[in-house]
Structures are given as C-alpha cells and as structure tokens.
C-alpha cells in the first residue's frame, strides 16, 4: 500500500506506509479489520460456530454489524503458527442475497452452459469458468452507480465443484446461524432500550458480549415484560376469602378483588 504526497514541483512521490501498524484478522463481533490484541485467533482445527469450512481454505461465516446480518464467503490464509486470517478474496452478502444465491446454485448446471453468467438481486454476479473436466465458478459483488450503470467490486471468490457441494450442504446450518444472529441482535437492541429506561438496578444488569449473554438477555427481557405487565394490570386477592379459595366462578368480580388498572 502506498500513500502519495505532492511536492512543490507538482511531482508525485510515493511513500510506503507502515504496514506493521495493522494486521488483517478476523473479529467475531464485527466485520472490520482489527489488531490481533482485540480479536480471537482461529485455526483449521478450532474455529467458532458461526464459521463453516467448505473445502481448501474457504469459509462461510455469519456476523451482525451496524444492524445488518451478512453471510461471508471468503478465502483464509494461515500464518506460521497456523492462525487463520481473512484475505481480500471473498464476498459479503445480505442474508436474502445469500438465500437467493443458494437457490440459484442448487439448480445450476455448470457443465451444460459454459462461459455463462447470471446476476442475483442486482447485488452479485456468478461467472461460469467450467470446462468439460473441471467445475469452476466465481462470485463477485456489483453495485449501481449514480448514473444507473453497474460496476464490479474488485474482490471475488473462486469455487470449485467440491466447494459448491459443501456450500449447498451447509445451507441449513448457515441459515440457522443467521436466524440466531438476528434473534440475539434484535433481543439485545430491544432489551438495551428497555433497560435504559429503568433505574440502575443490579438485578437488571446483563452483558450481551459475555458467554452467558443469551441467557442474560432472556432474563432481562422477562423482567422487562414482567414490569410492564405489573404496571398495566394489578390484581390483588384476599387470601381469607372463602368464596375465592373455593374457586367458585362468579358472573361479576368478587368484592374481595381490587383491580387497580
């Protein structure tokens, strides 16, 4: 990577940047480049549940960032310690685009229509590079410019026949992960908004990023709903009322009951 600076003679001088400042790695929480100290290290033998291996060094991963859940198909590279790092060879897809891509690839016959191409939801283009001996397709993102023309994103991912088969077989697992990500993120956003309206009470505390985050979200949501219901409808029954204790159904509310709302 180079940075260009202008001089008084209007000549452009390219100065290499300090490439040691950042090292590309995978961050489980957000889809950004981060330093190794802020990320978890993954290997071929140990990677998280939201990552799915589809052959060679290609993985499908799911994450939620800035209120969007996306599916990534990306090539990874291993360093000297075997730690996996994402490369620029890959695509990032919205969940609905991922589903449409899977449906299209399921009925796609690469050996019957050589050098073909098709666009999915105006978001991704699939090229068929197959021949009679080998299956090979590339997936590349596209975007629409202001003049309504389309342009390709430089990064792409190349898949062979085995990759396509494993991509197809992993669909249900990826879909389940997408649903869990959407549920967890939605709950965390809702619970956070509700809890922020309440007084600072230790019993309402939760941490979405902890290992027990989902359980704490569930508990917090239940407490929020309980508080909402209790403030909306309050019903008190006198325990010494013989009529109520005998569970006698009355056409009208018994006088021992006090309905506040």
The mean of the pLDDT values for the chain is: 73
Q: What is the pLDDT averaged over residues 163-169?
A: 95
Give me the residues paired with residue 159 across strands: 137
Higher pLDDT, 187 or 198: 187
Cα 145 → chain centroid: 26
Q: What percentage of the chain has pLDDT greater than the value 70?
A: 56
Q: Kindly tell me the burial class for residue 233, based on how many C-beta atoms sit within 10 Å of its own C-beta (0-12, 13-18, 19 or more).
A: exposed
The H-or-E segment that residue 139 falls in is strand 136-144
Q: Which of 68-77, 106-115, 120-129, 241-250 has the lowest mean pLDDT?
A: 241-250
pLDDT recorded at residue 84: 95
Q: Give 203-238 pLDDT, tens digit per residue.
A: 555 554 554 455 666 666 666 666 665 555 444 444
Q: What is the pLDDT averaged over residues 98-122?
A: 90
pLDDT recorded at residue 215: 61
As a whole number of angstroms, the distance between CA 142 and CA 144 comes to 7
Tokens of 226: 């309980």
Q: Is residue 134 very low, low, confident or very high in pLDDT (cuts 50, 70, 90)?
A: very high
As a whole number of angstroms, the distance between CA 135 and CA 114 comes to 10
As a whole number of angstroms, the distance between CA 216 and CA 218 comes to 5
Q: Which of 4-13, 35-44, 87-96 has the lowest mean pLDDT?
A: 4-13
pLDDT recorded at residue 64: 85
Q: Is residue 246 very low, low, confident or very high in pLDDT (cuts 50, 70, 90)?
A: low
Closest by Cα among 190, 124, 183 to 159: 124
Q: Is residue 45 very low, low, confident or very high in pLDDT (cuts 50, 70, 90)?
A: very high
pLDDT recorded at residue 71: 96
Confidence check: pLDDT of 248 > 70: no
pLDDT recorded at residue 227: 65
pTM of the model: 0.61
The H-or-E segment that residue 61 falls in is strand 58-65
Q: What is the pLDDT averaged over residues 135-160?
A: 92
């Amino acid at each position: 990577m180079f940075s260009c600076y202008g001089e008084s003679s209007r000549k452009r001088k390219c100065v290499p940047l300090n490439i040691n400042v950042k090292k590309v790695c995978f961050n489980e929480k957000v889809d950004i480049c981060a330093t190794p100290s802020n990320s978890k290290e993954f290997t071929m033998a140990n990677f998280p549940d939201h990552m799915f291996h589809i052959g060679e060094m290609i993985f499908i991963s799911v994450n939620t960032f800035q209120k969007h859940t996306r599916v990534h198909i990306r090539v990874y590279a291993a360093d000297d310690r075997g730690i996996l790092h994402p490369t620029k060879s890959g695509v990032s897809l919205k969940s609905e685009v991922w589903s449409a891509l899977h449906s299209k690839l399921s009925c796609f016959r690469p050996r019957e229509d050589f050098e073909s191409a098709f666009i999915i939801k105006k978001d991704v283009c699939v090229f068929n590079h197959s021949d009679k001996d080998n299956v090979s397709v590339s997936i590349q993102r596209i975007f629409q410019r202001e003049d309504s023309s389309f342009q390709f994103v430089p990064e792409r991912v190349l898949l062979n026949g085995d990759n396509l088969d494993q991509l197809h077989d992993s669909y249900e697992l990826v879909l389940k992960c997408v649903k869990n990500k959407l549920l967890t993120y939605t709950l965390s956003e809702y619970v956070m908004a509700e809890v922020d309206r309440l007084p600072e009470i230790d019993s309402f505390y939760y941490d979405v990023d902890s290992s027990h985050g989902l359980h704490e979200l569930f508990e917090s949501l239940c407490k929020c709903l309980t508080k909402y219901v209790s403030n909306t409808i309050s019903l008190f029954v006198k325990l010494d009322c013989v009529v109520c204790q005998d569970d006698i159904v009355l056409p009208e509310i018994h006088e021992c009951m006090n309905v506040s709302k």
